[in-house]
Amino acid sequence: MVSSSKFWAPSAALLAAWLLNQLGSVGALENGVGRLPVLGYNTWNAFHCNIDEDLVFTQAQLMKQMGILDAGYTYVNIDDCYSEKNRSASGDIVEDKVRFKSGMKTLTDKIHALGFKTGIYSDSGWFTCAGFPGSFMNELRDAKTFQDWGFDYLKYDNCNIPFDDIIRQGIVGKYQRMADALSQLSKTTGKHPFIYSLCEWGWSQVWLWGATMGHSWRTTGDIAPRWESLTFIINFNSFITQATDFYGRNDLDMLQLGNGGLTFDEAKSHFTAWALMRSPLLIGTDFRKITPDILGILTNKEILAINQDPVVGKSISPFRWGINPDWTSNSTHPAQFWSGPTQNGTVFMLLNTLNEPATMFFNLTESPWIRAGRQYSVRDLWAHTDNGTAVRSFTAHDVPPHGVVALLLKDAGDEPDGLFPECAVWFQCVDRNGTHVGG
């Protein structure tokens, strides 16, 4: 969590060039866990510090009853504020004696019995963001406590940093301390390593170094249930999509669905962008208040299948910015035309960032994943309909304000003979005798 409302936007051209030079050094942490994005739940967005064992278990029960577990959301994660303000006499973190009176192990056992895994929270500083004990200089002790409590996942935050003459580390070393503790714990106990989620939010090069120690890394500050917050996050991440793959991914923060502030179309855009950019999907909703519309968004199995694709782990990326020239950083009008590979075809996301309906057109071969001279069957991933065949181009009519279109295109063979002009995109397109095609 972060209290600052100041945001930094990248210089697109410089970032793009630097990115291409740096990506060769990015190596995912492949330690046997976290190959795919985590799907689950987190208490913070809906409840902040107002949590107790009954509330957490009730949310897990509702997730199972509503089909959220069956849709693939397997983690129930507790965020900040679960502990006593002070450590025990022996130096251990202690769960709140009133709000978690039965003990964390009892709670995790009950949640595991429902079929879920469980996650916990700590901080790389002296204190968590809400002022509870952090893990600095207690990394191995706390990791052991979390394991003894029955947790499988650790979100690790960035507040209350020690003075320079104490920490004597950069941001990488600050997070490496817990990474080393988790690795040592796994070797000592023989249990699977934790899913380690870095919540750095400093807008530094976390997306470059995070893959060497964590399974996901936050790339911006905290999300808010406002369209402007979504577009800021989408814009920032549009320049670093290459950092996401199996075992490591850009974390766009929790899903703000059902918390008010977003229209239905904005909620669909939110979910589509997060899922197709292969971000972890952690729901931050009170399931006692969820509506059928929001439940339908969260359980869209065709969208979720792409997020959880076992063959292709890469994020979608922009192939055309649309309103702005390509590679333009604009926090209110990010890139509109996106695509990426999947095991079953090429997925497209068309994002209408305007405040009015829009017709959105693109030539198929603008996407690097489409072959010229071929036609493609079109599957609408929200309408769940097969919409015929696209030849050379596609037009989406009347996309709602702040709305989204999600398509899966599959190769359907050669395009029909005799099409004119000979090339859909005729720049530098020539006959074998050198005659230019088109205008």
Closest among 169, 240, 238 to 23, alpha carbons compared: 240
Specify the CATH class of 317-414 in words: mainly beta
Span 294-322, pLDDT tens digits: 999 999 999 999 999 999 999 999 999 99
> 39-308 has which fold?
TIM Barrel (3.20.20)
List 80, 142, 222, 253, catalytic entry: 222
Q: What is the DSSP code (8-state) at residue 95?
A: B
Global pTM reads 0.93
**Backbone φ and ψ of 54, nearest 5°:** -70, -40
- 3-state class (DSSP) for residue 296: helix
Span 79-105, pLDDT tens digits: 999 999 999 999 999 999 999 999 999
At residue 32 the predicted structure's pLDDT band, cuts being 50, 70 and 90, is low
Distance CA 351, CA 266 (A): 10
Q: How far apart are the first and last CA of the chain?
A: 54
Query: Is the omega angle on the peptide bond into residue 357 within 30 degrees of 0, that is, cis?
Result: no
SS3 content of the chain, % helix, strand, coil (to 5): 30, 20, 50
Distance CA 49, CA 337 (A): 39
What pLDDT sits at residue 404? 98
H/E element, 22 = helix 12-22
- 3-state class (DSSP) for residue 127: strand
Give the neighbor-by-neighbor strand order of the sheet with 117-123.
Answer: 250-251, 216-218, 195-198, 153-157, 117-123, 75-77, 39-42, 281-283
Span 208-237, pLDDT tens digits: 777 778 899 999 999 999 999 999 999 999
- 3-state class (DSSP) for residue 32: coil
Q: Higher pLDDT residue, 9 or 269?
A: 269
List 152, 157, 251, 253, catalytic entry: 157
What pLDDT sits at residue 144? 98
Distance CA 381, CA 6 (A): 35
Q: Is 222 a catalytic residue?
A: yes
CA distances from 404 to 167, 252, 273, 358 (A): 45, 18, 9, 10
Percentage of the chain surpassing pLDDT 90?
A: 82
Span 39-84, pLDDT tens digits: 999 999 999 999 999 999 999 999 999 999 999 999 999 999 999 9
What pLDDT sits at residue 184? 96
Mean pLDDT of 2-15: 41
Answer yes or no: is pLDDT of 3 > 60. no
- Maximum pairwise Cα distance, the chain: 86
Structural domain boundaries in the chain:
39-308, 317-414
What pLDDT sits at residue 213? 84
